Structure 1
């Protein structure tokens, strides 16, 4: 029985990190003109894009509350800030306003690094 439990624990702890979903956390604040520009220019098509399917969007106000269990490199201070999360841990970050022509390639590069 002890060998079975040890094998089970080993199997559970050896799950690949890819088992945790990638998510994109958008840190925003009310009245942010750059957040509104993202909502207008990128937001409508994000969920249907390749990057949107790879990293679904979650939103949080810069003042919180933040989801439990996040491990961020540092507290965001610019809005919008986009934090790529792998199972709750930050693996990349984009800060500030970007056009769609800047945003998608930058996020794709973060996704490539995370995989």
Structure 2
């Protein structure tokens, strides 16, 4: 009976140590903005309504941060943010990439998708 308990305990320990499929790390997109930013307003008009309904938005949910308030709780940036909007890709609270400025919707999506593919395990259509 002792061997059986040991075997069950070892099996459970091994199972909990395995990565669980479908459980992603905490990847988010932080949009650093400020009042009066025309490019922030353009992003809000052109991208924001669709963002949560896209594969990219589902993979990296959007969180907003004010330029003058610093990073959200639990998030650290690699360097100071000087421009708005700045889009900071974070994983488990650490910056893993950024896009500075908003180049328009025709350029934003390819640049952002490329950033996700290069810095995370995001794969469109997967």
Structure 2 length-normalised TM: 0.74
Measured in 2, the distance between the counterparts of 1:61 and 1:23 equals: 16
Superposed CA offset, 1:25-62 (max 9, x none): 00000010100000011111111011111111000100
Match of 2:124 in 1: none
Trace 1:14-25 onto structure 2 (pairs within 5 A): 19-25=24-30
Unaligned runs of 5+ in 2: 1-8, 122-126
**1:105 maps to what in 2?**
110
Alignment correspondent of 1:62: 67
Partner Cα separation in structure 2 for residue 15 and residue 77 of structure 1: 38
- Counterparts of 2:68 and 2:19 in 1: how far apart (Å)? 34
* CA RMSD in angstroms, aligned pairs only: 2.1
Query: Is there any run of 5+ residues in structure 1 with no aligned partner, and where?
Result: none
Structure 1 residue 100: deviation in Å?
Answer: 1.2
Once the two structures are superposed, the pairs formed by residues 27-46 of structure 1 within 5 Å of their partners are 27-46=32-51
What is the rounded CA distance, in whole Å, between the counterparts of 2:31 and 2:67 in structure 1?
A: 9
* 1:77 equivalent in structure 2: 82
By relative contact order (CA 8 Å, sep 6+), the higher-ranking structure is 1
Number of residue pairs aligned between Structure 1 and Structure 2: 106
Distance 1:45 1:69 in 2: 27
Q: What SS class does the counterpart of residue 58 from structure 2 fall into?
A: helix
Moved over 3 A (4+): none
